[in-house]
Structure 1
Amino acid sequence: MRILHTSDWHIGRTFHGHSTLPALRTVLGALAEQVRSHHVDVVIVAGDVFDSAAPAANCYTLLADTLAELRDAGAQVVLTSGNHDSAARLGFLSRFVALAGIHVRTQPLEAADPVTIHDEHGPVHLYGIPFLEPALVRHLWPDTTLRTQAQTLAHVMDLVAADRALRGGRSVAIAHCFAADVEPTPGVEREIRQGTLDVVPLSVFGGHDYVALGHIHGRNTLAEGVRYAGAPLHYSFGEQHKPRGSWLVDLDESGLAGTRWLPLPVPRRLVTLTGTLDDLLSDARFDAETDAWVCAQYTDTTPQPDPMRRLLARFPHCAAVVHQPAERRERDGVSYAARVGATRTDEELVDAFLAHVREGEGASAAEAEIIAETVRGRVAAEVRV
């Protein structure tokens, strides 16, 4: 059996205010082509199909179109709900779409009831485990202590193990969680908390021929048969250097026979550019980045006027601007009140204000001239009055 492992589609997520649906449609179309060209039997989507519990109508359209493409390409689909999905909405009509080869698993009590698909070597049992939030599922097993996700997933995997022992044959587990030994992408996997509350040890996944994980947006291999595929699209600049793709997984009569990474296209590259604002606006070394999504980090000591508008003139897809001074002045400990109290003239008062709000940098020579002219004009007006 040949399996394609993907996850974290996050249909509906925006990128710095921009819709990602057109780009995601391109990438998911390429995923369907992988299914066709590699003769994939089963596509696994390990959670976070949508980005929110109440996605917009066009998100459902993209999902329906993609699932139809995957089926047309020859694969059955097994997908589970992640922490971003509404299990009820995603699982609506799941019994009916299963008749068409689309198996949607969103109910915790169904985790030990696998989707069984046969190949020439016999059955393969695919256990789709939805995201398990302890506070929301502990009432299902009132006699078991379920305070952490590790406890909850371990309990459900024990139920899966008992079912697998009765059925025999090969098996695949699908889970959406933060497994041990993986570092999250800052600002991306937003619900991951550092500590032990959400960390699931690898030991709970023992016994399966392959474990398809979701939740982490970067490709990761925790063991030969335990892997994250990551998201198919870059959703933050923190992900820009992480490859996008899917895992091609082969099972033979004895279990896992091999895995291979299949890259997916990146519709628009993400780059982070660093330099003074003048350099970013004019330096030839940035010419190749005009068609990329740009995060501009300008290093001027003081904030510059209207940087986003100016940068968009050169980089039409500039999505973020960050003021990142090359050097930060050490605070002298003087309060604003003390700084203002030491001034004797209006020009000194304005200069003290500028130094206080601009990392210690007072008025430049040109600014000082403008300030002096303004003060002289005000004084002349008062004299006339």
Structure 2
Amino acid sequence: MRILHTSDWHIGRSFHGHQTLDALRGVLATLAGQVREHRVDVVVVAGDVFDSATPAAACYTLLTDALRDISAAGAQIVLTSGNHDNAARLGFLAPLLRDGIHVITDPAGVGTPVTLSDEHGPVHVYGIPYLEPIIVRGVWPGSGLRTQQQAIAHAMGLIEADRSGRGGRSVVVSHCFAAGVEASDGVEREIRQGSLDVVPLSSFDGPDYVALGHIHGRSRLDDGVRYSGAPLHYSFSEAGKPRGSWLVDLDAHGLAAVEWLELPVPRRLVTLRGTLEELLGDPALDAHADAWVCAVLTDATPQTDPMRRLQQRFPHCATIQLDPQNRAAEDGLSYRARVRKAASDADLIDSFLSLVREGDGASDQEARIIGDVVSERAATEVTA
């Protein structure tokens, strides 16, 4: 059986205020083409289908189109809910979808697989929706679950009990943060690393393959335990990391092979660092004119209208970060001491600028403008 493992579509997420629906639609269309090209039997989507618990109507349309295209390409689909999804809303779709599309959102169903078959016999696919301990305690009374680790362990206990009775090959689909993933792998913003939310890798012992979601970068924790990552780049920290999915082959005995399938990147992400004038004037940066740009400005003082000016050269400049360099050393004076020390109005303004700029007073050009304004103001007061 051939399985395509994907996750974290985050339909509806914006990128620094820019909508991503069109880009995601194109990427998922490519994924559907890969399903047809590689004769995939089942696509598993390991949670965070939507980015919001209340997605807009256009998000439902994109999901419906993507599932229809994948189904038409010849694959069945097993889809679970993640922490960003509203499980009840996502689960409501299940009865309305065509045969061969399985939406798993109810923790009460953990331990009951979707059973598929190939020439070697059955393959049991167990979906584990995102398990919020405070919620699943009501589903499993008396379990005393307080952490993700405990919730996953309980769910895997139910799965193991069912697996041992059924026999055959098995796949688990789960949305969690498993131990062994580095922070650089794109840890989701809600995950608290180093806390009780971390699930030990040993929790997933047993199945032939475990398809994980929640991490936005691909990651191999073991031959049969992997994250596929998100199909789009959703932050500049993910720049340069490949986008794609895992193509998993099961033979008569279990896991036979795993291959990475690349997905296209609609627009590259790049972080450019320098002063505003350097970023605007360096001809070597022409290669990034069509990329999403994060501009890290190193100017010692704030610049005038930097976003507008940057977008004239980089139309897709999405965000600016300030990292001032070469600032003058602070003198340690309080603002009251600066006021008392000022010998003139021009000195007073320079002291204020030095305070708010953390050490840098007026530039030569600013000092001339300040001097002219102060002189003009003084002359006006005399004639009045």
Q: Which category of TM-score, normalised to the shorter sequence, fits these structures?
A: over 0.9
> Corresponding residue for 2:246?
247
> Offset of 1:138 from its aligned partner?
0.6
Rounded to whole Å, the distance in 1 between the matches of 2:186 and 2:212 is: 20
Rounded to whole Å, the distance in 2 between the matches of 1:221 and 1:321 is: 33
> Corresponding residue for 1:273?
272
Rounded to whole Å, the distance in 1 between the matches of 2:225 and 2:186 is: 24
Rounded to whole Å, the distance in 1 between the matches of 2:195 and 2:376 is: 65
> Corresponding residue for 1:24?
24
Q: Does 1:44 align with 2:44?
A: yes
Rounded to whole Å, the distance in 2 between the matches of 1:147 and 1:192 is: 15
Rounded to whole Å, the distance in 2 between the matches of 1:116 and 1:205 is: 19
Rounded to whole Å, the distance in 2 between the matches of 1:305 and 1:299 is: 14
Cα 1:143–1:188 change in 2 (3 A) is closer
> Offset of 1:9 from its aligned partner?
0.1
Q: Secondary structure at the match of 1:372?
A: helix
Equivalence map 1:265-344=2 (5 Å): 265-327=264-326, 329-344=328-343
Cα 1:330–1:116 change in 2 (3 A) is farther
Q: Secondary structure at the match of 1:91?
A: helix
> Corresponding residue for 1:14?
14
Rounded to whole Å, the distance in 1 between the matches of 2:89 and 2:134 is: 20
Letter in structure 2 aligned against 1:71: S
Q: Secondary structure at the match of 2:144?
A: coil
Tell me the alpha carbon deviations over residues 126-163 of structure 1, each in whole angstroms, 9 at most, x when there is no partner.
Answer: 00100000011111222112010000110010000000
Q: Secondary structure at the match of 2:232?
A: coil
Aligned length: 384
Rounded to whole Å, the distance in 2 between the matches of 1:303 and 1:61 is: 44
> Offset of 1:68 from its aligned partner?
0.4
Rounded to whole Å, the distance in 1 between the matches of 2:155 and 2:48 is: 19
Per the normalisation by structure 1, the TM-score is 0.98
Equivalence map 1:68-87=2 (5 Å): 68-87=68-87
Between 1:245-254 and 1:331-340, the stretch displaced more is: 331-340
> Corresponding residue for 1:200?
199
> Offset of 1:187 from its aligned partner?
8.3
> Offset of 1:180 from its aligned partner?
0.2
Rounded to whole Å, the distance in 2 between the matches of 1:292 and 1:42 is: 34
Conserved? CA contact 1:213–1:227, under 8 Å = yes
> Offset of 1:324 from its aligned partner?
1.3
Rounded to whole Å, the distance in 2 between the matches of 1:363 and 1:331 is: 14
> Offset of 1:332 from its aligned partner?
3.4
Cα 1:299–1:65 change in 2 (3 A) is same
> Corresponding residue for 2:66?
66
Rounded to whole Å, the distance in 2 between the matches of 1:243 and 1:110 is: 34
Conserved? CA contact 1:186–1:238, under 8 Å = no
> Corresponding residue for 2:148?
149
> Corresponding residue for 1:359?
358
> Offset of 1:328 from its aligned partner?
5.0
Conserved? CA contact 2:187–2:214, under 8 Å = no
Per the normalisation by structure 2, the TM-score is 0.98
> Corresponding residue for 1:139?
138
Q: Secondary structure at the match of 2:138?
A: helix
Tell me the alpha carbon deviations over residues 188-227 of structure 1, each in whole angstroms, 9 at most, x when there is no partner.
Answer: 6111012222100011100000000000000000000000
Between 1:320-329 and 1:286-295, the stretch displaced more is: 320-329
Rounded to whole Å, the distance in 2 between the matches of 1:272 and 1:194 is: 25
> Offset of 1:186 from its aligned partner?
8.9
> Offset of 1:72 from its aligned partner?
0.6
Rounded to whole Å, the distance in 1 between the matches of 2:176 and 2:261 is: 23
> Offset of 1:294 from its aligned partner?
0.5
Structure 2, unmatched stretches of 5+, are none
Tell me the alpha carbon deviations over residues 46-93 of structure 1, each in whole angstroms, 9 at most, x when there is no partner.
Answer: 000000000000000000000000011000000000000000110114
Equivalence map 1:340-351=2 (5 Å): 340-351=339-350
Structure 1, unmatched stretches of 5+, are none
Q: Secondary structure at the match of 1:100?
A: coil
> Corresponding residue for 1:117?
116
Tell me the alpha carbon deviations over residues 335-384 of structure 1, each in whole angstroms, 9 at most, x when there is no partner.
Answer: 11211221120010011011111121111111111111111100100011
Between 1:180-189 and 1:363-372, the stretch displaced more is: 180-189
Conserved? CA contact 1:185–1:216, under 8 Å = no
Rounded to whole Å, the distance in 1 between the matches of 2:89 and 2:346 is: 64
Q: Secondary structure at the match of 1:221?
A: strand
Cα 1:54–1:229 change in 2 (3 A) is same
Letter in structure 2 aligned against 1:25: R
**Which ranges of 4 or more aligned residues in structure 1 deviate by more than 6 Å?**
none
Rounded to whole Å, the distance in 2 between the matches of 1:25 and 1:384 is: 69
Q: Secondary structure at the match of 2:92?
A: coil
Rounded to whole Å, the distance in 2 between the matches of 1:328 and 1:353 is: 15
Rounded to whole Å, the distance in 2 between the matches of 1:78 and 1:184 is: 28
Rounded to whole Å, the distance in 2 between the matches of 1:200 and 1:37 is: 35
Rounded to whole Å, the distance in 1 between the matches of 2:8 and 2:225 is: 16
Conserved? CA contact 2:185–2:217, under 8 Å = no
How many percent of aligned residue pairs carry the same amino acid?
66
